Amino acid sequence: MTTTAKTLWKIDPAHSEVQFKVKHLVISTVTGSFSSYDGQIEADGDNFENAKATFTADIDSISTNNEDRDQHLKSEDFFNTEEYPKLKFESTNFEKVGDGEYKVTGDLTIRDVTKEIKLDVVHGGTVGDQYGQTKAGFEVEGTINRKEFGLTWSAVTEAGNVVVGDEIKLQLNVQFIQS
């Protein structure tokens, strides 16, 4: 029995974006991001089928371009960064569903709650750069319900509009460097 050597790919934060979108007052969308995160993929070379992916983000690095809102998100009402400083994702299945397209299933942990989520992943390609490094690019999308992860703070305006929507859209454009 032959075992194939695994290739380790590490996220390149200089060429990556980790964002989320949530409805505000039901009429508009607020975009937020994390600026401090880490991730890696363990795969058979540049074949990502059945790969193992892990990702963590530092909650304290959250930004929605509004300091008051960011502080509220870090508070006990939402992420409670003092007690739960990171969110993490660990894949359990990395399934090829088309040319460069994958369905990734895994466990997402926010606060102390872990739930299985499914993500759509598009592999944009793998190339060598001018410095001799091999890089792979991915677009990752998914949707979660924030309340399932203990982010249950809610408010309603006098007119009856919900202040923060429950559905959170995850959007990651990430580049990995082969180690």
Q: What are phi and psi of 18, to 5 degrees?
A: -120, 105
Q: 2 lies in a domain? A: no
- Range of 44's domain? 7-178
Does 109 fall in a domain? yes
CA distance 53 to 40: 6
In angstroms, the CA 139 to CA 171 distance is 7
State residue 24's pLDDT score.
64
CATH of the domain at 105: 2.40.128.110
C-alpha distances out from residue 72 to 9, 79, 148, Å: 34, 9, 19
Domain membership flag for residue 106: yes
> What is the pLDDT at residue 43?
93
pLDDT on residue 147: 87
15 in a structural domain = yes
Whether 1 is covered by a domain: the verdict is no
Tokens of 58: 């530092």
Contact between residue 13 and residue 37 where contact means Cβ atoms under 8 Å apart:
yes
Cα distances from 74 to residues 53, 84, 85, 161, in angstroms, run: 26, 10, 9, 23
CA distance 90 to 38: 12
pLDDT means per 10 residues in the chain (179 residues)?
A: 75 94 72 95 87 96 92 90 97 95 97 96 92 93 91 58 72 95
Which residue bears the tokens 């039901």? 26
| Start-to-end CA span in the chain (Å) | 25
Confidence (pLDDT) at 154? 66
CA distances from 179 to 37, 43, 50, 132 (A): 18, 11, 18, 12
Which tokens is 73 given? 């998100």
pLDDT of 162 reads 44
**Counted domains in the chain:** 1
Cβ–Cβ under 8 Å, residues 95 and 102: yes
Distance CA 86, CA 84 (A): 6
Considering the entire predicted model, what is its pTM?
Answer: 0.88
Decide the pairing of beta strands 28-34 and 17-24: antiparallel
Q: Is residue 21 part of a domain?
A: yes
